[in-house]
Amino acid sequence: MNTFDKLNEILEVEMKNQMLYNKYLMEITNPEARQLFTQFRDEHMQDITQLQQLLKNPSI
């Protein structure tokens, strides 16, 4: 498996994680838990953005 494929695989996992956090946020009523899940979701979004930028780099 080459680097491009690995990055794509990691990107898919990160996107799935972010979707799960979004789903759970709809169900959570505890404000502290919501804040924590929001933080996790946002961190995954940053990872997704970085991975997408890496994948646009033709030197991979």
> Cα(9)–Cα(25) distance, rounded to whole angstroms?
25
pLDDT tens profile 11-34: 999 999 999 999 999 999 999 999
Q: What is the mean pLDDT of residues 30-46?
A: 95
For the chain, helix, strand, coil in percent to 5 are 85, 0, 15
Q: At residue 1, does pLDDT exceed 90?
A: no
Residue length, the chain? Answer: 60
| Diameter of the chain measured on Cα atoms | 45
Q: Give domain limits for the chain.
A: 12-53
Task: Give this prediction's pTM.
Answer: 0.81
